[in-house]
Structure 1
Amino acid sequence: MTHIGLLLFPQLTVLDLIGPYEVFCRLPDARVDLIWHSLDPVITEHGLPLTPTLRCDEVAKLDVLCVPGGYGVTPLLNDRPTIDFIRRAGAQASYVTSVCSGALLLGAAGLLQGRRATTHWMSLAMLRELGAVPTDARIVHDGKVITGGGVTAGIDFALYLAAQLRGQDVAESIQLAIEYNPDPPFDAGHPSRARTELVAQLRHRARDAQTRRAALLSQAAQGLLQTGGMRVGATTGLTS
């Protein structure tokens, strides 16, 4: 039985979690839990409540840790109970994974030191401050760490991980079952293809939130430096 745990926290982006959750729940011989510090309903980014199935302090060992993203990542960058849980669960897991800005929480926990990683394009450069090597790709696999890009990349990442866990035939069967056959009406899903003015508008709208995130991320990075970080192959257990 493969135990997969997705962190469910306030103000997360629902699709970051639900996309992978749908794929993981279709894996044979897998248990999938939504994990938080309590079992009370969690209010996500746009007001949808979701209910955790397992508390952080009930987790003994996960085979897969998955951390989604969203604006709720920002206040957690220096939240000691959450960062300690991610560090502990990540050290023991066979795969340490994230979707979108969830990678920043992996980094704040010291789990991306020296690793190639990706995240949402607006936060990609921030990974460097946490010791990672920012990599602009849909999916990045470095050792036991697998990170997915922004939001919708969670489905791609989850299918990729499904193939690692159960083989390509199983992953393809899941893809067919959920009819994951992307054919977007516009080619504007990445700043390398979207119109320049559109990218600028989105950056402007997110400016204040990104400024707050950068400030708290710098605090998290300073904390890693003060403690000597979490060196790969040492206390993180990231030796793959």
Structure 2
Amino acid sequence: MQRRHILRTGAAATAATALGLGTSPTAASAAAPAAEQKRERTRELRVHTVLFDAVEEQDFAGPIEVLGILADADKRRIKQSFVTADGPRTVRTSSGMYIDVRDPWAPQDADVLLVPGGGYGKGSGVDDEIKRGVLPRALARAERPGLIMGGICTGVMVMSAAKITRGRPCTTHFAARDDLAKQGGKLTYGRVVDDGDLITCGGVTSGLDLALWLAERLYGPQAALRAEMILEYERRGTVWRAKS
């Protein structure tokens, strides 16, 4: 962890120099919604990432890495938590790793709630969660003004089961797109689809692009570019954004 911190903080200075980036807001960041700008100035951003058994590691690892870079290298006030709809427990990921989730389910205390995927089809983690019903019901109850809900890969299908995507622009992993449309989602072709308080993305590595877009939306393009350089990752595809 110390090595990662050094890489992040050291690379931040290099990135700023290489890209000609300062710390003053740009015109793009100044144009961000006033409520989001105010949140940046006044308090930390609270991000809850939902886990469940057989969750796909890359779906949640990519976004938490981006947000961690923003916190460490870009000096943003961000608090990240793992949560499950069942409360604190141990989760077994799709590749068999175990994660101890210690924080309670408390979406009322979150600014951003991220839902990763976990395969698709019979026997997958997503399929099990949809059939069990606990997580979709919890997500449906979590909706409220001021909460940004993000669906990554087939995590969008869990949100669809909660009727969160019904009638709204959204996307998911290509294997589930037809089902998303059949269930009432307004299928939109972009790697990231931003409909205000609902942001969705395509499969697996698209979670990196969702998180980098969220960084740009909340903190401006400079923060996102610094994170890209530290990650040595270039954003792919397009971001579809609803007209404000």
Task: Report what 1:232 is aligned to.
Answer: none
Task: Report what 2:149 is aligned to.
Answer: 96
Task: Report what 1:62 is aligned to.
Answer: 110
- Counterparts of 1:185-196 in structure 2, within 5 Å, are none
Could you tell me how far 1:93 is from its partner in structure 2?
Answer: 4.6
User: Aligned pair 1:22/2:65, yes or no?
Assistant: yes
Structure 1: 4+ residue segments shifted above 3 A: none
Q: TM-score, normalised by structure 1?
A: 0.71
SS of the aligned residue for 2:199 comes to: strand
Letter in 2 for 1:29: R
- Counterparts of 1:138-217 in structure 2, within 5 Å, are 138-181=191-234
CA contact (8 A) 2:209 2:235 kept: no
Letter in 2 for 1:12: V
Letter in 2 for 1:60: Q
Inter-partner Cα distance in structure 2 for 1:59 and 1:142: 19
* % identical equivalent positions: 31
Match 1:137 to one of 184, 190, 201: 190
Match 1:6 to one of 49, 57, 61: 49
CA contact (8 A) 1:41 1:51 kept: yes
Could you tell me how far 1:174 is from its partner in structure 2?
Answer: 1.2
Q: TM-score, normalised by structure 2?
A: 0.70
Deviates more, 1:90-99 or 1:68-77: 90-99
Per-residue CA distance 1:172-196 (angstroms, 9 max, x = gap): 111112221479xxxxxxxxxxxxx
Could you tell me how far 1:13 is from its partner in structure 2?
Answer: 0.7
Decide whether aligned partners of structure 1 residues 107 and 91 sit closer, same or farther in structure 2, where only a CA change above 3 A counts.
farther
SS of the aligned residue for 1:122 comes to: helix
Could you tell me how far 1:60 is from its partner in structure 2?
Answer: 2.9
Inter-partner Cα distance in structure 2 for 1:89 and 1:179: 35
SS of the aligned residue for 1:110 comes to: coil
Inter-partner Cα distance in structure 2 for 1:51 and 1:92: 30
Q: In the comparison of the two structures, how many residue pairs are matched? A: 184
Can you give the 5+ residue segments of structure 1 that lack an aligned partner in the other structure?
184-239
Inter-partner Cα distance in structure 2 for 1:109 and 1:118: 15
Task: Report what 1:213 is aligned to.
Answer: none
Can you give the 5+ residue segments of structure 2 that lack an aligned partner in the other structure?
1-43, 71-75, 120-124, 237-243
Deviates more, 1:35-44 or 1:104-113: 35-44
